[in-house]
Amino acid sequence: MKGFILVDALFGILVLLISIGFVFQTVALYETVNQRAFEYDLANRTVVNVLVRQFVKCEICKNINGFEIIEKEDGFTLSKNNVDFHVHFGR
Strands (E), the chain: 63-64, 67-72, 75-80, 83-88
Q: Which residues contact 64 (CB under 8 A, 6 or more apart)?
A: 46, 49, 50
Please compute Rg for the chain using Cα positions. 25
Q: What pLDDT, in 10s, does the model give residues 9-40?
A: 899 999 999 999 999 999 999 999 998 899 88
- Of all residues in the chain, the percent with pLDDT exceeding 90 is 32
Q: Residue 64's domain spans which residues?
A: 2-88
Q: What is the arithmetic mean of pLDDT over 54-83?
A: 87
Q: Which residue has the higher pLDDT, 89 or 38?
A: 38
The predicted pLDDT at position 34 comes to 93
The DSSP symbol for 59 reads P
Judged by DSSP in three states, 31 sits in helix
Count of structural domains, the chain: 1
Neighbours of 60 (CB within 10 A): 14
